[in-house]
Chains A and B, each alone.
Chain A
Amino acid sequence: MSSILVFAEQRNGEIKKIAFENITIAKKIATELGANVVAVLIGNSVSGLSGELEKYGAEKVVVYQDAKLENYSSEGYAKLMAEAINDYQAGIVIMGATAMGKDLAPRVAAKVNGAVATDVVSVEVDGEELRIVRPMYAGKVRTTVKLTSAIKILTIRPNIYLPEENSVSASVEEKTADIGDFKAIVKEIIAGAKDKLDVTEADIIISGGRGMKGPENYHLIESLAKKLGAATGASRAAVDAGWRPYDEQVGQTGKTVSPSLYIAVGISGAIQHLAGMSSSKYIVAINKDPDAPIFKVADYGIVGDLFEVVPKMTEAL
């Protein structure tokens, strides 16, 4: 039986939610295609994590461990993924459209003569084929593609599929990681603010734009975000003005996000901003200009002064 390989992304011994989302997707596809789901766990002393993968339905967990794999290494991880693809005769490989997955997938494809669809928002079985949908032009269109390579690799955008528990008892196979030396080595991971949630991983995002008037006012956004357990985002205007860091920028030249709830505060809704966030499930706009284009994509809008509305929201929650 062929298998569907899921890359079980972990950092610091913590499995990323996207890995569970991806096992859930793999499980659905595997049922229809009559394949089994194999999770691949790579890192240093990570075998203890395999139980969590079982809970979502991985029938087999393959573990590669080595001190050299403590931090992500594109070369090392790609080599091991290619090995697993070969060992388990995988026709489909699923990863997250995360910093790690995006870096890894194309490299693995080059090794196994596969093809990659990146940032996939929908995947369905259609006969013997996969119907894969991915946005292009930052979400201005959606393209359905078919991968005709023997090995098809997908990176799935986080937060699109909900992880579903589906407990099985998995067999765990610990392998020796024969990786040799790397040419590029991660020397250090500089963590951002300790509990800062990245916009691409957040279920709720509150973004502030030029309407915030200055960096000193972003505490309004931060307080509301704290109440909601949300990540903070920004328009490019706010980033270019130096009010907010680059990693918060949402849009065509920033990050593309699909949270359950996106709250745009003092953001006009330029086409480049909309491109990055219009696939959010619910959009709220707070803007004093009733004609601001952001209201065209918003599910709920409040026309008004953000300096009154936002504190009121924080207070009411």
Chain B
Amino acid sequence: MNIAVCVKQVPDTEARIKIGEDKKSIDESEINFILNPYDELAVEEALKLKEAHESDVTIISLGPDRITSSMRSALAMGATKAIHIKIDSTPVDPMITATALAQVLKEGNYDVILLGKQAIDDDNAQIGPILSELLDIPAINVITKLDIQGDVVIAERQIEGGVEKTEAKLPVILTTQRGLNEPRYASLKGIMAAKKIQIEEKNISLTDNKIEIVEINNPPQKPEGKIVGEGAEAVPELIRLLKEEAKVIS
């Protein structure tokens, strides 16, 4: 089995997002970058498959030079190869990213392509479904359970109020949701081994951009709230406010 995991480097979840002076970008100067949390799930799932089926796990990531630190994190968890698609800055339009990834993925002949369900910076949740179309490979997205027997893939995906059990044949694209697994921590041995792995670099010409950022703003500030009171005595007043002032309950 040959496995690829597409990963993205993103600001850590604690990061305060400072809007750049041009109001069209994010000021990255004080940001600590991490491996996208959903992509950790994808790496973990790949490693579980690797342990069951003896396979290579190739990490593929598109972005500027800084992203190699997150690629190393994925290698330290146990991935075996890495391909860095080098560009100056991450595209706004996910179609560009997906098209570039598709080109690299085609060359690798992978049986299983894993991604996160969403990158927690742009929150697009688009790359998995687009890749399915571009590569003409079935995709099961937002999965919380996976079972592969021979070339039959059965995965459960979260929908509103339930779970869709979906079946497909290899090769397959899977995007991960929390609940699928608990990502392992890299061991010291893993970290040392990762340092020795050569990250392959690729240059790819990108397709046209179809999404323009007009401006980035802070979310509207809510007016200062009020403490209605202390303890159970405050409940009647809270309910009155919800009914009469906010009018959200009747």
Interface residues of A, Cβ cutoff 8 Å to B: 71-72, 74-75, 78, 98-100, 102-107, 109-111, 114-119, 131, 134-149, 182-192, 196-198, 200-201, 204, 228, 239, 245-247, 249, 252-254, 256, 260-261, 271-272, 275, 278-279, 281-284, 290, 295-305, 308-309, 312-313, 316-317
What are the residues of chain A within 8 A of B178 when measuring CB–CB?
239, 246, 249, 253-254
Q: How far is the CB of A22 from chain B (nearest CB, A)?
A: 16
Interface residues of B, Cβ cutoff 8 Å to A: 11, 13-17, 19, 26, 37-38, 92-95, 98, 120-130, 132-134, 137-142, 144, 154, 156-169, 172, 177-179, 209-220, 222-223, 225-232, 234-236, 238-239, 241-242, 246, 248-249
What are the residues of chain A within 8 A of B172 when measuring CB–CB?
184
What are the residues of chain B within 8 A of A295 when measuring CB–CB?
225, 227
Contacting residue for A190 out of B156, B168, B227, CB 8 A: B156
Q: What's the dominant secondary structure at chain A's contact region?
A: mixed
- How many contacting A-B pairs (Cβ < 8 A)? 268
What are the residues of chain B within 8 A of A204 when measuring CB–CB?
248-249
Q: How far is the CB of B210 from chain A (nearest CB, A)?
A: 4
Is there an interface contact between B13 and A253, defined as CB atoms closer than 8 Å? yes
Contacting residue for B225 out of A141, A184, A299, CB 8 A: A299
Q: What is the bound-complex CA distance between A198 and B161, given in angstroms?
A: 5
User: What 4 A-B pairs come out closest when comparing CB atoms?
Assistant: A110-B133, A246-B179, A183-B138, A304-B231
Is there an interface contact between B213 and A143, defined as CB atoms closer than 8 Å? yes
Q: What is the bound-complex CA distance between A107 and B228, given in angstroms?
A: 48
Q: What's the dominant secondary structure at chain B's contact region?
A: mixed
What are the residues of chain B within 8 A of A281 when measuring CB–CB?
246, 248
Is there an interface contact between A107 and B130, defined as CB atoms closer than 8 Å? yes
Given known A-B contacts A198-B161, A304-B232, A148 and B219 have beta carbons under 8 A apart:
no
What are the residues of chain B within 8 A of A99 when measuring CB–CB?
142, 157-160
Is there an interface contact between A189 and B164, defined as CB atoms closer than 8 Å? yes
Is there an interface contact between A106 and B129, defined as CB atoms closer than 8 Å? yes
Q: Please give 8 more A-B residue pairs, beta carbons under 8 A apart, in addition to A271-B16, A275-B13.
A: A99-B157, A110-B129, A111-B133, A192-B162, A301-B227, A304-B231, A308-B232, A313-B235
